[in-house]
Amino acid sequence: MPKPIKKRVIKKGVTEKEVLTFYEILINYYENNRRFVHLMIGAIVILIALVLIVIYSFRSKANEAHEIFYEGYKLYSGLYEKDKDSRESLKEALERFQEAYKKKKSAQTLYFIANTYYKLDQYKEALKTLDRLIKEFDNEKEITSMAYIKKATILLKQDKKQAALKVFNELYALKDNPYFKDVALYEASRILESIGRNDEAKKKLEILVKEFPASPYRAYAESKIKPKEEEKAQKEKQNKTETKKDTSKEKPIQEGTQNKTDNR
């Protein structure tokens, strides 16, 4: 039995009458709620204006902060200020950097503030600033790693080797941060060697060679590791040679004893 043919349902499009009806509804709503609609439109306009003002203000502050920072950098690096006393220039640079940081917080600006304190021999302030940078800008991996290195450098300057070693170990142990880990291993090995912990120093260099084959410190690390390995191999060879000599000396004695026994 043939199946009945279903009639195709043709969807009706939106008629002009329906469009007009919708338009009429809007007009009617506006007429009945004119005050409310005006308030809503006014609120939206004010909100957009406020957003634009905030964006403009932020950009303006960022540009101003950048200009002040550059003024500080010129003083810090001695550009155009060669006839001026270097410490006075650094003090002025510090003021500029601090002013720029107030305008716009930046890891780079904070790093230069710490560096300026360091150059002015204000190590306590420099360390405090670096700790602040590490804490507040931990998402900026590269400059955070630089802060760790600078912190350890200051501690070494104060002859605090154990504290500096701890900082380098912390830098190496950072997760999701690939920057300057070979430097951390290299510097840690040097500190360990200077305090007589040679085996630990060697392990640091072995890790450096294994994990960072492209590091500029690899050649140094290999030069420190290989002589020790060669020395160890030479000692083992010497021990084997001495063992063979001892064995060869025992054989004639045994043979002489055997001959005497045979003669009897």
- What are 14-30's pLDDT values in tens digits? 455 555 576 677 777 77
Query: Residues with Cβ < 8 Å from 155, sequence gap 6 or more?
Result: 127, 161, 163, 164, 167
**Exposure of 223 in the CB half-sphere (CA atoms within 13 A):** 6
So what's the pLDDT on residue 31? 75
Mean pLDDT, residues 112-138 taken together: 97
Determine what percent of the chain falls in helix, strand and coil, rounding each to the nearest 5.
Answer: 80, 0, 20
pLDDT of residue 188: 98
* Among 210, 176, 178, 204, residue whose Cα is nearest residue 190: 204
The fraction of the chain above a pLDDT of 70, given in percent, is: 64
Mean pLDDT in residue range 33-51: 67
Asked if residue 58 has pLDDT above 90, the reply is no
Specify the pLDDT at position 230: 55
Condensed to tens digits (0 to 9), the pLDDT of residues 85-107 reads 789 999 999 999 999 999 999 99
pLDDT attached to residue 56: 47
Q: Which has more pLDDT, 256 or 46?
A: 46
Percent residues over pLDDT 90 in the chain: 56
Closest by CA to 145, choosing from 191, 111, 95, is: 111
Note the pLDDT of residue 205: 97
Lowest mean pLDDT among 26-30, 46-50, 52-56, 102-106: 52-56
Output the average pLDDT for the chain: 81
DSSP 212: -
pLDDT digits (tens, 9 = 90+) for 183-219: 999 999 999 999 999 999 999 999 999 999 999 999 9
Structure confidence by residue, pLDDT tens digits, 140-149: 999 999 999 9
Amino acid at position 88, single letter: E
Nearest-angstrom CA–CA distance, 200 and 183: 16
On the question of pLDDT at 166 being above 60, the answer is yes
Mean pLDDT computed over 62-86: 81
